[in-house]
A and B are shown apart, each in its own frame.
Chain A
Amino acid sequence: MNDQMIAGDSVAGANQKTYWTRKRREQWAGWIFIAPEVVGLIVLSLFPLISSLVLSFTEWNLVGGLSAIRFIGLDNFVQLFKDDHFILALKNNVWFTVGTVPLTMLIGIVLAALIHKKLYAKTYFKVAFFIPYICSTVAIAAVWQALYHPSKGPLNQMLMDMGMSNPPRWLVDTSFSLIAIMVIYIWQVLGYQIIIFLAGMSNIPEELYEAARIDGATGIQQFRRITVPLLGPTIFFLAITSTISSFKVFDLIKFLTNGGPNYASTVIVYQIYEEGFERFKMGYASAMSWALFLMILLVTSITWISQNRKVHY
């Protein structure tokens, strides 16, 4: 009995000394190092995402305070499908993606291929095409706003000089405002696409091109048979990420048109802003946020699944 106690004591003592083994210290260090990021992301990203879902089942005007929250089930989501502005925003988002993503990718890959193989001063071209991408969108928007001025802007003065008597009124024209914004957007993101394509191209082994040249393949044949297929993963990556970023377009629209004229250039993120931060309809804005999130999730999962089947690395 006594012996056992003594033995037990000594084991406990040894345990205390050896408690901070390397393994345990590493265990603790791991959690301490990861903690700030994980806690931050949970509090500022995951928790808001879930709260947003909860809020989407409520009607709540922020002005009324917390006591004004009322659960209304799926009404917000039903309302979404009856909301002309939301439907228009959804359509505009789709048009925006269809009109910008394939076009920028096409121009981007061709320009990148030429810069990669056929031009001197590669660095200059990378930098030149990339400059709009790093510029503040709002400052760029201010410049284009002037360029697009209906009567005095250089663009329309040029069109009138070329004999067009009634050029589009761009940002203030219901049928052209979205297109005008798409043009700026393409101009801004083209450099990004070129950089990503160039990075992908630098991973293609030069021997493949040499072998093709020996076999007498032309530049265009090399592009179609070597560059494009081997860039599969890059093309795929850009297709997803550009689609997602085109869903999120906001800065240009807020600064240039406020979604107008007459909602002609509104998009979902702009509608979230308008309902949530101008009308303070927090529940409804949250329902829209979740609609956006689900759409992005859908795009990502569809492409993930198809990636696992089709893209060969």
Chain B
Amino acid sequence: MILTRIKTSKLILTVFFAALSVFFLLPLFWMLSAAAKTERDVWTFPIQWIPKEWNLVENFKAVWLGDVSFGLFYMNSIKIAAISTLATILISSMAGYALSKLEFKGRGFVFSLMLAFMMIPEQATLVPRYIMIKEIGLYDTHTALILMGIFSSYISFLLRQFMAGIHNDLLEAAELDGAGFFRVFWNVMLPLSKPILATVGIIKFIWTWNDYQGPLIMLNSTKLFTIPLGMQFFQEEFGTRIAVMMMASVAAIVPLIVLFLLLQKQVINGIAIGGVKG
């Protein structure tokens, strides 16, 4: 019964598109296979998709157990991305709560100000930010990167839009029970906003993890490098050793792909909300 409802034309088109999507992802398959090969076989043509001679362990060692290890870059990236994400969520959800549920003088003005802030491109502010960071002695620290990343009018706007849709009855009920505004925020607002917080959190994490420009400008010491800067460091060190570079690329990409596959619904919804309503 079910089988008969499957349209042949739709099925053929699906198979064709499945092939197209594989073709689309070929660069990533090439990366995976090169990461497991010897330097010589990387360039063999036609491409050996399955390595003839496996060199996975050697490449792995070069990336993870060398003098400068990718493990260090990993720890730095995890630290910065985790702290930035948590702080952004806290600051932005506070702003979202104030803008959607609290009546205060100047709210309308602040809201338009936040919308205007969304128009300021980060690149136009790089030079003074860099000078400020240098002047207050935070150059070449993780704190600088975290500070630069945790204020986002865009994320506050998304949270404000979601929170505006939460019923006031729920908040009033909590107030009748004697909860102050801080309790209402923490015990009612945040739990009710979990879906959007998850979405915004994962997106912010991905952005921070992949950020290259910020660390490039704010960091100098190799031991503080994040993964994208670590990639550049490897390019300088191993420029001709493509298999090692591909192993490093795998290391940079795989955790995010796994995270994305697990939470793809949240990520895709988040991108879609931002796109349709933003």
Contact = CB atoms under 8 A, between A and B. Distances in A.
Contact of B21 (A37, A48, A129, A289): A129
A119 B13 contact: yes
B256 A41 contact: no
A27 interface: yes
A119 B14 contact: yes
Contacts of B31: 143
Contact of A137 (B212, B242, B261): B212
B128 A146 contact: no
Contact of A290 (B107, B124, B181, B212): B124
Interface in A44-87: 44-49, 51-52, 55, 62
Contacts of B124: 49, 52, 289-290, 292-293, 296
Given A49-B120, A52-B124, A134-B260, A154 B45 contact: yes
Interface in B79-109: 91-92, 94-95, 97-99, 102-107
B94 A37 contact: yes
B79 to A, nearest CB: 17
A210 to B, nearest CB: 17
Q: How extensive is the interface on chain B, given as a class?
A: 35 or more
Contacts of A34: 94-95, 98-99, 104, 107, 110
Contacts of B13: 114, 118-119
B222 interface: no
A88 interface: no
A219 B123 CA distance: 44
Interface in A1-41: 23, 25-31, 33-34, 36-38, 40-41
- Overall SS of chain B's interface: helix
A261 interface: no
A195 B246 contact: no
A127 B266 CA distance: 12
A238 interface: yes
A172 to B, nearest CB: 13
Contacts of A196: 271-272, 275-276
Contact of A29 (B17, B119, B182, B213): B182
Given A30-B104, A48-B129, A55-B128, A131 B25 contact: yes
Given A34-B110, A138-B252, A282 B27 contact: no
Given A30-B107, A136-B231, A152-B43, A286 B123 contact: no
Given A44-B125, A238-B275, 8 more contacts: A25-B180, A25-B181, A31-B106, A131-B25, A142-B245, A199-B276, A282-B131, A289-B123
23 contacts: A25-B180, A27-B104, A30-B104, A37-B95, A38-B110, A118-B10, A119-B10, A125-B17, A126-B268, A128-B24, A138-B227, A138-B231, A140-B249, A143-B31, A143-B249, A149-B43, A158-B45, A192-B271, A195-B268, A195-B272, A254-B213, A289-B126, A292-B121
Interface of A: 23, 25-31, 33-34, 36-38, 40-41, 44-49, 51-52, 55, 62, 114-115, 118-121, 123-132, 134-140, 142-144, 146-147, 149, 152-154, 157-158, 161, 187, 192, 195-196, 198-200, 203, 234, 237-238, 241, 244, 247-248, 250-251, 254-255, 269, 272-273, 276-277, 282, 285-286, 289-290, 292-293, 296-297, 300
